[in-house]
Amino acid sequence: MTTEVKSTSRERLLDAAATLTYLEGVNIGVDALCKAAGVSKRSMYQLFESKDDLLAASLEERTAEFAAGLLPPAADGRFPHERILHVFEQLESQAGAPAFRGCRYLAVQIELKDQNHPASQVAYRIKAKLTAFFRAEAERGGASDPDQLARQLILVFDGASARAGIGADTLTGLLAPTVATLLDAAGVR
């Protein structure tokens, strides 16, 4: 006999917020969120102070999945050049999926435009961690200007993610050579 583990109202709300905001944007209504989660508005407001707090919690909950889907394992023995390229290979692979809508963290920042919004703050922190990864690897790889290279790499990441997310371009055969050119120009090993 198998017993099905029922998710809590909180888990269902977090999942609904993640799914609906990724597909439809952050302006999704509370009614739609509650309906998708099978939770009353009253329950939602007992669990979260506001829809903004629900969105922030939903983004926060997915940070480990985001990092695991992009970043190489720590101390995997590869050179920084390869470790940075790994991130862009993962992005290219993800962008090929029909359900790909771009980077959820970038989308939140663009849609909200308010840096003080709780979800914007989570998104900013996650994107800063990715930039810090690029910077650390660039420095470890001997880049002439690790800060500048990290900024260039996050620019390429966000631009590629956005263009693929709106269906304006495919990344296959474009992303890795672009990033390799940046890494080579900066002297990253």
**Domain residue limits at 119:** 63-186
* Beta carbons of 123 and 73 less than 8 angstroms apart: no
Q: 72 and 117, same structural domain?
A: yes
Q: 182 and 157, same structural domain?
A: yes
Q: What is the pLDDT of residue 3?
A: 47
CA distance 143 to 162: 26
Please compute the mean of the pLDDT values over residues 29-58 and round it to a whole number: 97
Please compute the mean of the pLDDT values over residues 155-170 and round it to a whole number: 96
pLDDT at 2 over 70: no
Q: What is the pLDDT of residue 4?
A: 52
Q: What is the pLDDT of residue 53?
A: 97
Rounded to a whole number of angstroms, the CA Rg of the chain reads 19
Amino acid present at 146: P
CA distance 119 to 26: 9
> What six digits make up the tokens of 137?
């690897």
Q: 79 and 41, same structural domain?
A: no
The contacts of residue 100 (CB under 8 Å, 6+ apart) are 94, 164, 165
Closest CA to 34 of 9, 2, 59, 57: 9
Q: 139 and 80, same structural domain?
A: yes
pLDDT at 6 over 70: no
Closest CA to 87 of 136, 42, 46, 39: 136
CA distance 64 to 81: 23
- CATH number for the domain spanning 120: value is 1.10.357.10
CA distance 185 to 177: 12
Number of domains in the chain: 2
- pTM of the entire predicted model: 0.93
Closest CA to 45 of 13, 22, 93: 13
Q: Residue 75 — very low, low, confident or very high, per pLDDT cuts 50/70/90?
A: confident
